[in-house]
Amino acid sequence: GAVVSQHPSWVICKSGTSVKIECRSLDFQATTMFWYRQFPKQSLMLMATSNEGSKATYEQGVEKDKFLINHASLTLSTLTVTSAHPEDSSFYICSLQLAGGKDTQYFGPGTRLTVL
């Protein structure tokens, strides 16, 4: 299967600052990338679906101006949390779907964001 990396693995920032999280496919080209958020003892919640070269599709309740997604290439997607606040502290996970991959997603190890 595909190998997916995320960087950084954890980050602590001050309230009001912006944080960028990278998601890379190391060995396959991904037509679609997904961003999830997981609060403690909660399920993974889909935030947005990102297709290379087009605008991301956000789930209901997710602010597109706060969570900026850039899917610039078939191997890289970035999530920028703008003007982060303590309530944005969470575990952010990306996954990717390969071209013709149908129902299989490959997940990154996640990024722990803590906003002070």
Partner 1 sequence: GNSVTQMEGPVTLSEEAFLTINCTYTATGYPSLFWYVQYPGEGLQLLLKATKADDKGSNKGFEATYRKETTSFHLEKGSVQVSDSAVYFCARGEGAGSYQLTFGKGTKLSVIP
Q: Is 1 in the site for partner 1 (CB under 8 A)?
A: yes
Contacts of the segment 81-86: beta carbons below 8 A, 24+ positions apart: 81/18, 81/19, 81/20, 81/21, 81/113, 82/18, 83/16, 83/17, 83/18, 84/13, 84/15, 84/16, 84/17, 84/18, 84/19, 84/113, 84/115, 85/15, 85/16, 85/115, 86/15, 86/115, 86/116
Q: State the minimum distance, in angstroms, from the CB of residue 110 to partner 1.
A: 7
Q: Which positions from 11 to 30 touch partner 1 by CB under 8 A, shown as an x/- string?
A: --------------------
- Exactly one of 92, 110, 111, 113 binds partner 1 (CB under 8 A); that residue is 110
From 63-71, 72-80, 82-90, 105-113, give the range in contact with partner 1 by CB under 8 A.
105-113
With respect to partner 1, which residue has the nearer C-beta, 14 or 61? Answer: 61
Residues 27-86 that bind partner 1 (CB under 8 A): 32, 34, 41-44, 46, 49, 51, 57
Contacts of 115 (CB under 8 A, 6+ apart): 12, 13, 14, 15, 84, 85, 86, 87, 88, 89
Of positions 14, 65, 100, 102, contacts partner 1 by CB under 8 A: 102
Q: Which residues bind partner 1 (CB under 8 A)?
A: 1, 4, 32, 34, 41-44, 46, 49, 51, 57, 93, 95, 97, 102-110
